[in-house]
Structure 1
Amino acid sequence: MNEQGNVPAVNPMPPVVVAMFFFIMGIELVFQLGSHGIIGGPTAVGWRLDAMQTYAFSSAVFDWMMENHRWPAEHLIRFVSYPFVHASFTHSLFVGVFLLAMGKMVAEVFGSIAFLVIFVLSGVGGALAYALILNDPAPLIGGFPPVYGLIGAFTYMLWMSLSRVGANQTRAFTLISFLMGIQLVFGLLFGGSPDWVADLAGFATGFGLSVVLAPGGLARLRGLVQRK
């Protein structure tokens, strides 16, 4: 608190971000308790695998829907459910930490509804890129694509701020360049899946959505169209 005793020293976390964090970690907690036999009985050991089979995004399932022109809800839900299923506690924890850091800044500036739109649609964008570009048989799971969408929104905020002061706007892309570089190094040293394509697509989706969802975004877009 400050000297007047009525203003917190640290801004509180937006409730929508806290709710999303506890939802992700709550699912992981259930998997952990089940795998250790604390809840659910013997079958609980396989809860994570069952969730992956039901809720992970699958390129093979997407191909089947495209070929047959059928879009059952049980498979369409995979576009928005896969970010909530993780491979391990560590996987979910890293997603949670990035969610709190990026989500706080995005939700405070853009608002709760825009935060949710960016999170959900960045996940969808990441899944589409994963299916259309890679067509990898491995399932796509985890919240990094939508979290990278939040990084895209944060990058847009920096990009606009640098523009207003006449600074080099490419500096706004330092964070995403660093994160992609880390993924590349780890991939070369230890191997890994190509799901970075989904992450990068999530980032691009979040950045693109921010053009409209950022405060004053629609007015700026209208002004650009009118000038043309």
Structure 2
Amino acid sequence: MSERLIMLDVPGVLYSDRSAARLGGTPTSGTLRDVRFFDPIALGFLRRLFGIAGARVVVSDAWRRGTPAAILQQLDLQVEGMTPRVAGGHGAEIDAWFTQRAAPGSWVILSTAAPASMTAAQRRHLVQVNPAEGLTVENFRQALDILGVACPSTVTPDSRVEPGLQAKLRHLQQLAREAPERFMPAPAAAEAREQAMAIAVASLTGQSLQPAALHA
């Protein structure tokens, strides 16, 4: 058995309300034509998940029933197996699966099921997917975290500053040091110029003048 498992409930995860609107239907006919109605974005996240984490997929029996094996082959889900056929929803199916075999080192549940329908132990492994949206990048990150795998930089936002922007920031910082009045509100900038002029005149005439406090 794989050291990492993804316990997958397909409806609402690999196809959703959003994908149905975009693709024009849902994969519920039980024929190979269903393949076109699976959300390619969600499938992409799932494939990256088992690709990066080295995980395999256990598919919910409730969805598997009546689904041609050819569809599973077309979807390339890296299937380890199917949960046993039991009543009680996805959580009960997962319990039945692990009753028959030892749990791996890391495993995650991708499901639209409510947390209340899961056991306390299962909730620690649950990534609850919104059936209106399907599997998202946030779900993907949560799943990697539960599996104990670092999220690749190609998915997380890059915190590095673009070199051109760095140069602009340095230029602005230099201007702020050399001509701070340019970054003040108009009244304060005018007052600063007047103070600077007064100080310059005082230095030329030998008078002593203390600059007044500036007010924004």
Q: Same fold (TM over 0.5)?
A: no
Name whichever structure is richer in strand by fraction. 2
TM-score normalised by length of structure 2:
0.22
Question: Larger C-alpha radius of gyration, 1 or 2?
Answer: 2
TM-score normalised by length of structure 1:
0.22
Name whichever structure is richer in helix by fraction. 1
